[in-house]
Copies of this chain bind each other. A is one copy, B any other.
C-alpha cells in the first residue's frame, strides 16, 4: 500500500467513524477515487448534474503546442492529479473522467503578500500565485472541498449550486489578502485559446464578465457574475498580450482601478481588508447566455445564503440522489458503490439559465420550453450504460437529455444529433452516431414519448453523407478502409445504431423506414471475414485488408480497440454474430481466450486509453467497446462464465483508491457499468427493454424506483468464492431467463439470488431464456 493510498483510506475511515451514528449515503462517497492517473475525475465541489464543478487545478498542460503532442497533457483532463504538490487555483468547470480536456473556466486564487499575476511552474511555485498544499489538509465530499494553501496560510473551502461556485477563504490573521481572477487560465490552455475576455467591476462587491474560448468546445461562451462578501479596496489587472489597437481607451490609466477591462489575456487582482475581516466569501455564477443571465442565476441560487447553508444544501441534494440505494457491504464496497453513483450524476450537466435561456448549437439563444437543457454528452461512451442507468434511476433527467439532443439536431447545420456535445458545441469526438441509441432506449423504456420527432432526428443523423463514411456505408453496406481509418469499427457501430432506428421506426409504425434500417442493422455482416471469424475491414473494391492482426489496436480499421474486442460489437444480433464467428463452440472459445490471453504491450503501447491496469486478459475494460462483452455468454450454453469474469473485472477495475478506476470514468460510463454489474444485470443492447443477467456483487441492495416502488436484490453470502448464481426468484417465483425486462423491474419487488461456489450449469439454457437477438442466424 503506498503512502497516498494509505492517507485516503485513513480519511475515509475517519469519516466513517465520526458519523457512525447516522451514516448517510453521501458520507460514503469518496470523490478522491480516480483522481490519480487514469480516472480523470476531480475532487472539487459540485451538485447533481450541475453546470459548475468548482475544483482545484493542480496543472494544465495543452495537448499540443505548435502541432507537437504533449503526452502528459492527457492526465490533466480534469485539471487535477493527486500526486501533484501545488494548486494553481480553483476553476469552475470540469469534465468528469473524459479522455480529452477542456474547460477550467474562471480561475480564482486567494493569496497574501506580493501580487503575482502568473501561475508559476509546479517545481517553482514561488514564481507565481500557485501554492503548495498537503493532502492531509484536504477534505473532499459531495458538494464540498477544503484545503489549506500552505504558501499563504489560507484555508480555502468550496461548495456549489447548479450554476454557482461558492468559495470561502479564511486569510491568516493581520494580513491583507488579495484574490486573483485569471481569465487566461484554462484546462488545455494553449496559447490563443482565449479569443476574447471582458471584465466589469460593477461595484465594489460585484464583478461581471465573460470569455470566449476556442478549445475542444470550438466556440465556448462563459459569462460570469461574481459577488464578494467584502468590498474591494483596490484592484488592477495585467493584459499579457495587448491587442494591437485599443483605441481611445489608452487615455485612461486602465491598469489600476478602472472598472472595465477587455482583451485576450487578462489577469486581474482584487485587494481586500482581510487584516480586519479574515473571511471572504466569493460566489461565482455562470451563464452561457449573458452576464445578465449569470446575475439571474446568482440571485436565484446563491444570494442571501451563507457559505455553510449552501454547503449543507449541496450535501442534502447529493444525499437525496444517493439514498435511492441502500446496500450492504464493506466500507470500501460502500465507498465504491456510492462514489460510482456520484460519478454517474456529474455529467451530463445542466446548460441553461434559471429562466430557461441557453445558447444553442447555432450560437443563438434559445428558450427551453418544458424541459431542462443539458450538455456534455460523451455518447460513444455513455450510450452503453450511463443513459440506460439514468432511464432506470432518473428517467425525468434522461428524457430532458433526449430532448436536449433533439434540439441539438434541430440547431445543427448538418441535421445531426450530438456525437459529443460540449457547452453548446459539437466536438465530433469518437465515432458512430450513438445518440440514436439513447433516443431509442428512452422510447422503448417509456421515458420519452415523442417518437416521430425522435425518428426524424435519427434518420437525418444517419444519412449525412459526409459524416465518417456514411455515403459509402449506405451504398456498399460498409465503410471502405481506403476511405476511413476506422472503417471496420464504424461499420459495426452504425449497424447497431441503425438497429435502434429500426426499433424506433417500428414504434412509429413507419414500415418503410423500419425495413430500410432493419437491412442496415445487418450491415455488420459485410465486414465479417468468416474464414477467420473476426470483423475485418474491406476496401472499396470489396477485398479484405490483406495483412491483418486481430490483436493490433493501430492501423487495422478499428478505433480504440482491436478486432478481437470489436468483433463482439453486434449487441443487437448476437446469434447472427455467433454464426459468423463459426457457431457457439468457436464463439465461447473466443470469449474464453479474450479474457484469459496475455496481450503483449506492443498491441496497445501507444494508446493512452489502454494500460495493463485496465486489461483482463485481452479484454480492455478501461475503454468502452467491450463493456457488454462479459455478458455475451448469456446467449450461449455457458452463461455462468459471465458470473466468473464479471466479478474479476469488478474487483480489478474499481477500488476505493486514488488510482481506483481502471480507466477514464468517461462521464459516468465506467461507473454506470459498475452499478449495473453490482446489481447483477446490464443493458447489453440499449433499445431493447432487456437487461442481461450477470450476478449480484453485494449481498443486499435496495433501490427505490422513480415510481416509488422498491426493488430488492438479495444475494446472501455472495463473495469472490460464492460468485455463481445457483437459482433466482423474482417475487418468489423461480426465474430462469438470462435477462430481466425494464417493465419487470419497474414493478418492484424482490430479486432473490441463491449464490454458490460452483456454477449451476443447467440454468438459462433453453431458447426462450435467451436475450433478444435480431435474427437467429445469418441466413435469416
Contact = CB atoms under 8 A, between A and B. Distances in A.
Contacts of A249: 218, 428
A365 B363 contact: no
A214 B264 CA distance: 11
A517 interface: no
A210 interface: yes
Which of A200, A219, A363, A427 has the most chain B CB atoms inside 10 A of its CB? A363
A243 B192 CA distance: 8
Given A428-B247, A429-B247, A196 B214 contact: yes
Contacts of A66: 244
Nearest to A295: B364
A382 interface: no
A245 B200 contact: no
A219 B363 contact: no
A255 interface: no
A64 B196 contact: no
Most chain-B Cβ atoms within 10 A of its Cβ — which of A190, A247, A253, A364?
Answer: A247
Contacts of A64: 244-245
Interface in A211-230: 212, 214-216, 218-219
B251 A365 contact: no
Contacts of A65: 244
A292 B364 contact: yes
Interface in A167-193: 188, 190-193
A243 B215 CA distance: 10
Contacts of A245: 62-64, 188, 190, 193, 214-216
A262 interface: yes
A414 B364 CA distance: 29
B413 A248 contact: no
Contact of A290 (B218, B247, B365): B365
A393 interface: no
Interface string A257-286: 111101000000000000000000000000
A3 to B, nearest CB: 37
A291 B292 CA distance: 20
A452 interface: no
Interface string A425-438: 00111000000000
A195 interface: yes
A364 B291 contact: yes
Contacts of A252: 428, 466
A410 to B, nearest CB: 12
A260 to B, nearest CB: 5
A362 interface: yes
A441 interface: no
Contacts of A192: 243-244
A17 interface: no
A515 interface: no
Contacts of A355: none
A257 B63 CA distance: 29
Contacts of A414: 259-260
B363 A198 contact: yes
Contacts of A216: 245, 247
Given A259-B414, A290-B365, 20 more contacts: A65-B244, A190-B245, A192-B243, A193-B245, A195-B195, A195-B196, A198-B363, A201-B413, A208-B362, A216-B245, A218-B246, A218-B262, A247-B428, A248-B420, A248-B429, A252-B466, A260-B413, A260-B414, A291-B362, A291-B364
8 contacts: A62-B245, A63-B245, A190-B245, A195-B195, A196-B196, A198-B219, A260-B413, A290-B363
Interface of A: 62-66, 188, 190-193, 195-196, 198, 200-202, 208, 210, 212, 214-216, 218-219, 243-249, 251-253, 257-260, 262, 290-292, 362-365, 413-414, 420, 427-429, 466, 468
